[in-house]
Structure 1
């Protein structure tokens, strides 16, 4: 249970995955500054220790190793929270994997992302895209599988494991850090688009079916033939699936507020440190969603600007 110095009825407990760096680290800082106990979860324990040291001004930050792709690691963090704090109030699924590498000028990735965003703004109308940076986006089966495992299955694994602890909270919140690249408009596969965008009949099993179909087509070199995204495919599918699962989870747990949010295009390891936003600026939107008052939205996907305007 909680230490005697805190008041269990008032103290809030938050777990942030992938929190040893980047946006996750800044989410920890912002939530800790508001007085809640923050569990800084890091896959690499050494890097987690270094991150905890950078937050040494806060005595309410606790480190725990967590690999969202490892069921045993997820079970261990559940046992830790249950024994030490008794419940969980906020879960932020921030751990992420871009699923690609860049061979050549890394600013190429920023150009592709900018082109996708322009496509969205234009309502799905494509302009001819000719990147200026020299190089190519490298997407491998191994990279795609790791991306899907972290961004979708990992987040889902953590949610399912920690639901019993969140159910003990008076105001449970789950925030899935997602991406605008997961928007349905960027899914050219009409079958996948139809499944993930239809609320009627949408289920966890249907979302899993889309993800598995993508992986099967990738293994059989049918990504182009089956009209999956022409670039950043695994990342886009993983985030689209996460957005859909967010809605499914919200229907299962109507007392929770469960939302997905794009923090914006920030300078992190995932983006090769390109982007207009700092890590601290990008953390603002997930923190806002984590602190939504009772009666707030649930089951939705928000872009950064939409989240901050709530």
Structure 2
């Protein structure tokens, strides 16, 4: 597998914002400063059937056809399916080994879009939520960040629900400190939330109620993104690592209540993947600008 100048991976990309991110990477890559020749985009998903169908949809996409964005139409981008379940360490490592074998020189873009929303009403549901939104994203960062070439990009799709306004002052400070320290420190905070829920001390310790577990998972994701940027910079890494909120997008996750299209939701993730962001790393972005966490 050779012949590609740039390699991109998008997780949870068989529908919604993830699918739109893949489409817009292909559309915008030719005019981006990262354009150095042919681009391969891995559209990844847990379901092979849904993932392969998504690729077929994009191969016939009117926007991509009109722009002649894909190699089949004379363009620069090739979209291929990659099976990946970010909640399964074996799946992550299998996909990583596949990518390393095919492209030993490394990759250039990783967009961690995969995530779930659950109205968690008990601790087991919270653990399931965290398995994807926090631990799955963290595992992807740890496994794939070493593969990203210098000047590459790592983008985690988070949410404004991950802002810290819901927490007690001591917890706000703990999140802020962890985000400047290490991903391990962020994980300790996530473990504390679960432990406090299990012992019935969640609210007395300053956490939001159990129904806000999605918010906590996204706060952890943002903190871990910032911490990964700190860790990478300390080791001399040049990869730009950022988190973003796509906005209130009309998808299955928002149960059709979102006010933005999926292409609008893809704008900031694609900006962070391809655009001129002035070398910023460790930021939390919305609508193309850094926002307060």
For the aligned pair, the TM-score class normalised by the smaller chain equals 0.7 to 0.9
Q: Which one of 218, 222, 234 corresponds to residue 243 of structure 1?
A: 222
Which residue in 2 is equivalent to 1:114? Answer: none
Which residue in 2 is equivalent to 1:256? Answer: 239
Separation in 2 of the partners of 1:290 and 1:61? Answer: 16
Which residue in 1 is equivalent to 2:67? Answer: none
Which residue in 2 is equivalent to 1:180? Answer: 160
Q: Which one of 96, 100, 106 corresponds to residue 115 of structure 2?
A: 96
Separation in 1 of the partners of 2:290 and 2:49? Answer: 33
2:251 matched to 1:268? yes
2:271 matched to 1:288? yes
Separation in 1 of the partners of 2:203 and 2:179? Answer: 28
Separation in 2 of the partners of 1:291 and 1:193? Answer: 32
- The farther-off stretch of 139-148 and 257-266 is 139-148
Equivalent residues of 2:180, 2:227 under 8 A apart: no
Equivalent residues of 2:180, 2:226 under 8 A apart: no
Equivalent residues of 1:195, 1:206 under 8 A apart: no
Equivalent residues of 2:181, 2:230 under 8 A apart: no
Q: In the TM superposition, what is the alpha-carbon distance from 1:201 to its structure 2 partner?
A: 5.9
Equivalent residues of 1:16, 1:28 under 8 A apart: yes
- CA-atom RMSD, angstroms? 2.1
Q: In the TM superposition, what is the alpha-carbon distance from 1:231 to its structure 2 partner?
A: 6.0
2:38 matched to 1:55? no
Which residue in 2 is equivalent to 1:158? Answer: 140
Q: In the TM superposition, what is the alpha-carbon distance from 1:94 to its structure 2 partner?
A: 0.4
Q: In the TM superposition, what is the alpha-carbon distance from 1:199 to its structure 2 partner?
A: 6.5
Q: For residue 17 of structure 2, give the secondary structure of its aligned residue in structure 1.
A: helix
Q: In the TM superposition, what is the alpha-carbon distance from 1:233 to its structure 2 partner?
A: 2.1
Q: Which one of 90, 95, 105 corresponds to residue 77 of structure 1?
A: 95
Equivalent residues of 1:289, 1:307 under 8 A apart: no
Taking structure 2 as the reference length, the TM-score comes to: 0.83
Q: In the TM superposition, what is the alpha-carbon distance from 1:53 to its structure 2 partner?
A: 1.3
Structure 2 residue runs of 5 or longer lacking an equivalent are 31-38, 61-69, 73-77
Equivalent residues of 1:97, 1:146 under 8 A apart: no
Structure 1 residue runs of 5 or longer lacking an equivalent are 101-137
Which residue in 2 is equivalent to 1:37? Answer: 40
